[in-house]
Amino acid sequence: MSAPQAPALCRATVDFLARKHGHFIGGKWLPSASGETFRIFDPATGADLGECAAGDATEIDAAVRAARAAFEGPWSTFTAAKRGAVLWKISELVQQNFQQLCELEILDNGLPTPLAQYVCGMFVPEFFRYYAGWPTKIEGATIPASPQGKLPGEALSFTLREPAGVVGAITPWNSPLPMVMLKIAPALATGCTVVLKPAELTPLTAMRLVEICQEAGVPDGVINLVNGYGAKAGAALAAHPGVDKIAFTGSTAVGKQIVQAAAGNLKKVTLELGGKSPVVVFDDADLEQVIPGAVRACFFLQGQNCMAGTRLFVHEKIHDKVVAGIAAIASAMKIGPGLDPSSEFGPLISGPQRERVSGFVEAGRKEGAEIVCGGKAPSRPGYFYEPTVMTRVSNEMTPVRNEIFGPVLCVQAFGDDDFERVARDANSTVYGLSGSVWTRDIGKAMKMVRRIDSGQVSVNMHAAIDPSMPFGGNKQSGWGREFGREGLEPYLKTKGVTVTW
């Protein structure tokens, strides 16, 4: 029987890919002043997908000016209700462009079809619908103040919530469309304007989404996009004095550079950075849940996932059974291009990323870890790497300490008296993004939830993401929160007003 063929791309995708991609500034697609470009490629095959303009400080400056003009001009006349209607319309247009967005996201990033369908058909539309409800509910407060001895009835003090201004949004390649959505939706809900710099490895759905925003009624200049490399376009955006706030998602190392670049005009900064999240499994946990749950926690998006549960702490009584179960599922996963609907596990984003992952696995091997499954790249085109499970690891080992951002699970056993040690070990990296606890004992679960120093901890599931639930990092996993009501805060300023008469 021959292998199933990837379905043909839809007309809208073919037409989109045939374009010469530029920057979206003030409502128009423009080339780079320098004429510089970069190539876009498919990580599943290495095939060339087209050419894209590479911007620098010139395009960033033009985009910031367009964003400022729109912020002070047409966008400031939109009522809260009208901004909500625009966000709702974006959600509808994402659904109408479902097939094209799925195909572009898969070609750019390599994720499997079912995941792309969930992202483009549910997650992104729901997120825009959630934020569509917020503009009319962003409220200040009345304050019982008595400035300069004013008596009640002689003064009225209240707060106004105002948009932060021009937002510079910088996004990574690991989940391209959701990462852009996470910046654009709260910015539009609060009345900010945006200059977006998507990862140069994955610009396709970002470009399509800014067009969709325009089609939904967002005025020219409200959402601008400059393609290009982080070191040029990203750095220029982070440093630009006309930007009021930076919303960055990416590595902790670059996050630190963003903070320094932003210091020039003390722009506000939110950072969603790396992770090395613990998964703690007690011996009373339901193994029917734990084993597939741990596989999803680590290998979702080929492990290129900031929330990935990459450090598994499992009670010694069930250690062998859990490891064998995970290895059995991981080894049986069908590796292949995301466009093949039968693929369960896609490629890594690029050759260098695969080298990086392989380097961490080799370091673990040298330091004494046992590779239970995976540990190599399959021989086929594209940047694939097998889902890998390592045991006999310790907290000091290179693959346990560092964010690998690839499909590598490190497993450690613990005993009956090790509750506090596991809690300490769970917190033994510089990160604090996500984590999960697996047990039928709710008291034990809640005690461990309290001990884990992460922005998010789930019980009997991993990475419980929802538009309404705040998400973000503790320690070096970031500053601030995205999602939910809290996700609006970094896009707002508070003005205290007192009126006397």
Binding site for ligand NDP (CB under 6 A): 170-174, 197, 199-201, 229-231, 234-235, 238, 249-251, 254, 257-258, 272-275, 306, 403, 405, 433, 473, 478
Of the listed 59, 103, 105, 272, which one is catalytic?
A: 272
Tell how strand 166-170 and strand 193-197 pair up: parallel
In the bound state with ligand NDP, the residue whose beta carbon lies nearer, of 273 and 437, is: 273
Q: What is the 3-state secondary structure of 395-435?
A: CCCHHHHCCCCCCEEEEEEECCCCHHHHHHHHCCCCEECCC
Residue 446 is encoded by which pair of tokens? 């809640």
Q: Which is nearer to ligand NDP, 43 or 478 (CB)?
A: 478
Nearer to ligand NDP, 230 or 374 (CB): 230
Backbone angles phi, psi at 43, to 5 degrees: -70, -15
Q: Is the CB of residue 210 less than 8 Å from the CB of residue 90?
A: no
89 or 268: whose CB is closer to ligand NDP?
268
Place of tokens 């190599």: 376
d(C-alpha 145, C-alpha 167), whole Å:
33
Unique residue bearing structure tokens 């707002």: 492
Intra-chain end-to-end CA distance of the chain, in Å: 85
CB of 364 to ligand NDP, least distance (A): 19
**CA pair distance 210, 85, nearest whole angstrom:** 16
For residue 231, the minimal CB distance to ligand NDP (Å) is 5
CB of 283 to ligand NDP, least distance (A): 31
Q: Which CB atom, from 173 or from 300, has the smaller least distance to ligand NDP?
A: 173
The span from the CA of 259 to the CA of 271, in Å, is 9
Q: What is the CA angle 49-215-97, rounded to 5?
A: 50
State how far the Cα of 272 lies from the Cα of 274, in Å rounded to an integer: 7
Q: How far is the CB of 267 from ligand NDP (least distance, A)?
A: 13
Beta strands in 86-240 (DSSP E): 142-143, 155-163, 166-170, 193-197, 223-225
Active site residue 272: yes
Least CB distance from residue 228 to ligand NDP, whole Å? 7
192: annotated active-site residue: no
Three-class DSSP category at 453: coil
User: How many contiguous H segments (helices) and E segments (strands) does the chain have?
Assistant: 16, 22
Residue of 52, 192, 213, 306 marked catalytic: 306
314 or 452: CB nearest ligand NDP: 452
**Nearest distance, CB of residue 203 and ligand NDP, angstroms:** 9
Nearer Cβ to ligand NDP, position 222 or 404?
404
Structure tokens that stand for 223 in this block: 């959402």
- Provide the minimum distance between the beta carbon of 67 and ligand NDP in the complex, in angstroms, as a whole number: 17
DSSP string of 257-286? Answer: HHHHHHGGGT-EEEEE----EEEEE-TTS-
Residue numbers annotated as active site: 272, 306
